[in-house]
Amino acid sequence: MRPKVIMHTQISLDGCIRGFIDTGIYYVVANRFGADMVLFGSETVYTAAEQYPPETEKAFVKPVDTPDDKRLMCVVPDSRGRLRNLHVFRDSEYIKDFIILVSESTPKSYLEYLSERNYDYIIAGNDHVDYAKALEILYDKYGCRIIRTDSGGILTNILIEQGLVDEISLVISPCLVGTSEPHAFRSLSLLNRMPLELINCETLDNHLSIIYRVSR
């Protein structure tokens, strides 16, 4: 078994993932899913800011999980072992903690980095992360039943190609951006047309929220 995977993203009318005004509608819709975890792409975390404060002793202490903590656990694939800025997000008011997805090829020094700082990590796959296996572990070991994505598009495209996405949620901003920004499905490669079933459509503050179920 694996969790239900909801791809959730905000785009302009012409499909760009940046270049529009953030009105908070994205999170209004995201909070409705009742997700147990959120899956970030490593590039999203890596490029979140240009500079970060140095680590303190707090970076090596695992946060205490309390029943009243409603923040989500964040899952990030990083088989290359390049994310050294996790302490910044661990300290934020929006994230409970991280589970890092790695592979057999991940440098041992990075696994030591994660262990020293008490981050949970899942080894799944040989050269790259095996997402199907990782999702099964999240379901069995961590009790994750619904996971939504928060990614710039590369990770979600991989999940779609591997048949691991159950629903696609798009918040469409009322603007056109043009060719200056990347598109959400820019790297999507499918052997056959993928039919979708519309399960919800509504307008929210001049934005359009549409949710499709992926037909198997």
The number of residues in the chain equals: 216
Model pLDDT, residue 127: 93
The CATH superfamily label for domain 1-34+164-216 reads Dihydrofolate Reductase, subunit A (3.40.430.10)
Model pLDDT, residue 66: 84
Model pLDDT, residue 50: 65
**Which tens digits make up the pLDDT trace of 119-144?**
999 999 999 999 999 999 999 999 99
> How do the domains of the chain map onto residue ranges?
1-34+164-216, 37-144
Question: Which of the four pLDDT bands, split at 50, 70 and 90, describes residue 88?
Answer: confident
Q: What would the two tokens of residue 59 be?
A: 């970076």
Quick check: 81 pLDDT over 70? yes
The overall average pLDDT reported for the chain is 93
Model pLDDT, residue 151: 86
Beta-strand relationship, 196-204 and 207-214: antiparallel
Is the pLDDT higher at 168 or at 47? 168
Model pLDDT, residue 49: 65
Average pLDDT over residues 161-169: 97
**Which tens digits make up the pLDDT trace of 49-64?**
667 788 888 889 898 8
**Which tens digits make up the pLDDT trace of 175-185?**
999 988 999 99
What are 116-122's contacts with CB under 8 Å, separation 24+? 116/60, 117/59, 117/60, 117/86, 117/87, 118/60, 118/61, 118/62, 119/62, 119/86
**Which tens digits make up the pLDDT trace of 92-128?**
788 889 999 999 999 999 999 999 999 999 999 999 9
Quick check: 163 pLDDT over 90? yes
Closest CA to 42 of 187, 186, 151: 151
Model pLDDT, residue 47: 80
Q: Which CATH class is domain 37-144?
A: alpha beta
Q: What percent of the chain has pLDDT over 90?
A: 73
Is the pLDDT higher at 26 or at 151? 26
CA distance linking residue 187 with residue 203, whole number of Å? 28
